[in-house]
Structure 1
Amino acid sequence: MITVVMFYMLINLQQILHTLKEKSSEEEFQISFVCHRPEGLEILEEQTKFSKTELQFLYRAFKNECPSGVVDEDVFKLIYSQFFPQGDSSNYAHFLFEAFDTNKNGCLSFQEFVAGLSLILRGSMYDRLNWAFHFYDHDKDGFITKEEMLNIMKSIYEMMGKYVSPPIQDDIPREHVDRFFQKMDRNRDGVVTIEEFIESCQKDENIMRSMRLFDSVF
């Protein structure tokens, strides 16, 4: 089930970055970037695993989509709805927005955007798994509960749409969650800790393979 979530996150990132690239020619980038230079570019280069050129490209593209320099949740949901018109992506976009919005002010800044991308695309395997754990741990109490996992699984199936063939049964998300907990809840206390999560993921080749796919996204 981790593989399913990471697969859709991979699709999202590929589509978003591809869209940004299409809207940014090299010549336009060189001209407009002078007007949109982010403060602390050198600091971002030190804090992330992106080069200066990559950060310049990402910032220019970010400003094209978000001239104000920040993205609120409604705009973020609108962006996602363009990629999954056959379903309702609003709940999944909500969870992902909150994962990127690290300072919890309701707006996604460029700094938060590239920090999240850097962890997912360029971070170590531990960094990526740690990020994934906190994506599931919605209330940030250090544990993944069945309710938290089920909410995210339901959001993925909502995003896939009602017209998937064969049709998805209503009990499928819960069955996925039950299998997840059987595998990862080692001490059977009803919650999954970050230690249980990372250890189980590292032993699963399918999960590791899905995580490595992010290496080729950008």
Structure 2
Amino acid sequence: MGNTKSLILKPRFQKLGPETIADLQKHEDIDFTSAEIEEWYREFQLHMTKGITKLTVDVFKKVYNRVFEGDASSFAYHLFRSFDMNGDGYVDFREFIIGLSVSGSDNPDKKLKWAFRMYDIDGNGRISKNEMNCILRDIYKMTNAMVSDELGSPEQITDKFFTKFDLDGDGQISFQEFKNGALTDPLIIHLLECDPDP
């Protein structure tokens, strides 16, 4: 026994402390249980290299490209931007879990606020036709969706959406117009769920 070294196996994943979990659960946008937060933390850590504690846009793109059949790089950038709440170019676990909870929420108001931020690429509080076209093209590219007669191209969907919901005719969609449109037309909800087929 004198020459044997004790082997201490470190766990593969770090655990979140109970106080960290409790703090996360206090956030109004987080709807996950303690067990779900722990599971998402393990998943989050899978994509970290040694010493790194935050996701970069490149890692985010790699993860999304594994999930979807098509090229998810462009859409993943928009998603990353919506998760990166402080705009520092990284997504830490807090931002990650809030983004997941809000984007997957059953609360339509929370989900629409998050989606609006994603569509509002320049962050000016309004969605232009160009911004909506950009997001819709990226959804089509990511899902390998084909332009259908029923649905049309991203540009045709944008035109239809603006015709129906740009109530003041200024060529931009405010949050209220976006919300009204999404709540009355299921197409936008399908697109928010990255499902171009209603």
Q: Distance in 1 between matches of 2:105 and 2:129?
A: 29
Distance 1:112 1:123, change over 3 A: farther
Q: Paired residue for 1:121?
A: 104
| Worse overlay, 143-152 or 62-71 | 62-71
> Which blocks of at least 5 consecutive residues in structure 1 are unaligned?
1-30, 214-218
Q: Distance in 1 between matches of 2:142 and 2:96?
A: 22
Q: Which has the higher contact order (CA 8 A, sep 6+)?
A: 1
Does structure 1 conserve the Cα–Cα contact (< 8 Å) formed by 2:65 and 2:73?
yes
Q: Distance in 2 between matches of 1:205 and 1:165?
A: 19
Residue 104 of structure 2: SS of its match in structure 1?
A: helix
Deviation at 1:173, TM superposition (A): 2.0
Q: Distance in 1 between matches of 2:128 and 2:61?
A: 25
Task: Say yes or no: does 1:77 pair with 2:56.
Answer: no
TM-score (norm 1): 0.71
Deviation at 1:37, TM superposition (A): 2.1
Q: Distance in 1 between matches of 2:146 and 2:102?
A: 34
Q: Distance in 2 between matches of 1:165 and 1:97?
A: 25
Does structure 1 conserve the Cα–Cα contact (< 8 Å) formed by 2:15 and 2:38?
no
Residue 55 of structure 2: SS of its match in structure 1?
A: strand
Does structure 1 conserve the Cα–Cα contact (< 8 Å) formed by 2:61 and 2:73?
yes
Deviation at 1:50, TM superposition (A): 1.1
Structure whose CA Rg is larger? 2
Deviation at 1:97, TM superposition (A): 0.8
Distance 1:98 1:166, change over 3 A: closer
- Equivalent positions of 1:101-180 (< 5 A) are 101-122=84-105, 124-161=107-144, 172-180=153-161
Choose from 20, 27, 36 the match for 1:40: 20
Choose from 21, 24, 38 the match for 1:56: 38
Q: Distance in 2 between matches of 1:139 and 1:132?
A: 14
Deviation at 1:53, TM superposition (A): 1.3
Residue 99 of structure 1: SS of its match in structure 2?
A: helix
Q: Paired residue for 2:74?
A: 91
Q: Distance in 2 between matches of 1:157 and 1:204?
A: 19
What do you get for the CA RMSD once the two structures are aligned?
2.9
Higher helix share: 1
Letter in 2 for 1:179: K
> Which blocks of at least 5 consecutive residues in structure 2 are unaligned?
1-10, 194-198
